[in-house]
Every structure is written in C-alpha cells, then in structure tokens.
Amino acid sequence: MRKIILLGLMVLFLSPAVCAQEKVEAPVWNVGDKWTFTGNGSIEVAKADQSGYILKFSNETCIIETQTCNAILFEKNTCNRINAVEGDKRKKYIMGFRKILDFPFSAGKQWKDAYSAKELIGGGALEHLIDYSENFRILGWEDIEVKAGKFKVFKLEYKAIANSPHPWGPKDQEIKHYYWYSPDAKYFTNCQYDKVWMKDKKEIFNWELTSLQLKK
C-alpha cells in the first residue's frame, strides 16, 4: 500500500516537470544577448521593451535569415517578426520566415504562413512576385553538439512551396530546410538548407552557433 501511495506521489510531482519539458514558451531576451555563427555572422538584441525585441543582424549573417533586413522587431510572446527596422523607422514585416519562431514550442506542433516576394538570390530581383506557402513542423527533441557546446534542442522542419504566375517561373517547387532550436541558448543552434535548392547559391551556407553571450 505504501509503495502504491509513493508511486502515486511520484507521478503527481513528476508530471508537471514532464509537461514543462515538452512545452517551451518564448525566450526572454535581454539587451546585449548575442549569438555568433560560422561565417562570422552575429545577431544581437539591441532593444527590449513592451513593444518587443529588436534584433540586429550583422552584414555577414546569411541573407536567408535576414531577408535583407539589418534589424527586425520580434513580438514578445511568440517571437514572430513584426517590423523591419531602419533607424527610427519601422515598416511592417512582409517577408519570409515571419513565423519561423512561433512560440510556444512543443513536439509535433505544426503551423503555416504565406508571403509573396521578388527573387533575393542571383542576378537581381525578378520583375514579378513569386508566391510562397510556408509549412512549419516540430519533429521532436534531439541532443546536438555544435561549436558553442552541447544542447538539448527542438528539430524544426521548414517547408516552402514556390509558385509563379508566369510560365517561366517555379511551379510547386518544394524547398525544405531544418533548424535546431535550444531553450538554453534561446535561439537556433544550427541550420541545414535544402541541398538541391542551394546548389548554385554560393552566398548561402549551412551554419552553426559558435559562441553566445546571454545577459541576466
């Protein structure tokens, strides 16, 4: 009888801990938090207030992550991208990856987004827009080691379907990337881009976290 009661108490106290591990809320970023990646790219929290967090991207950060923005305002509760920031000016963020961080995170969570944009890579922007439908899915927990250390991470699958209204543009072209997010690092630890998609794009490379600086 005592064993049954003891086991019951263990289940009672351990269950919240298990649930807490499975569901991860948005990170609390502080001014001065900084992540550095391979390729000498870095991201730093420049401002934090009630409106959200402004993250500044270095010139060396991959063009895919910045979407041509030097600074972006992230919403506090979800970390969705709200505005592209230029000095004191803020413009609604309408590019890709707007919801690549969409907290809370949990294994199996799926969500979608969509946008239209000119081609960012190659010999200049196309004169017509390409429509992208984005699908996000958290595949589950993994243990991973990068240059910055060992982390317990969520593996996130990003899939975009590109379509053009013009006959020479893409039709149902699938692009699939993978990201690994660490609650301890408060950001992605690494990324693996679609090999076929990046084959002729020399300016794009898979990256990983090399160091981080988190303020308390």
Under 8 Å between Cβ of 171 and 163: yes
What is the reported pLDDT for 10?
42
pLDDT at 11: 37
Q: What is the pLDDT of residue 63?
A: 81
User: Residue 177's pLDDT is what?
Assistant: 97
> Residue 152 in contact with residue 141, Cβ under 8 Å?
yes
In the sheet where 71-74 sits, what is the strand order?
A: 89-92, 81-86, 71-74, 52-57, 41-49, 34-37, 209-213
The token pair that represents 43 in the structure block: 């991201």
Residue 119 has a pLDDT of 67
Q: Which domains does the chain have, with CATH numbers?
A: 27-213 (2.40.360)
At residue 39, the pLDDT reads 87
Name residue 175's beta-bridge partners.
Answer: 160
Per-residue pLDDT of the chain (216 residues; tens, 9 = 90+): 554 443 343 433 343 333 445 799 999 999 999 999 998 899 999 999 999 999 999 988 788 889 889 999 999 999 999 999 999 899 999 999 999 999 999 999 999 999 998 765 444 544 678 899 999 999 999 999 999 999 999 999 999 999 987 777 778 889 999 999 999 999 999 999 999 988 888 888 999 999 999 997
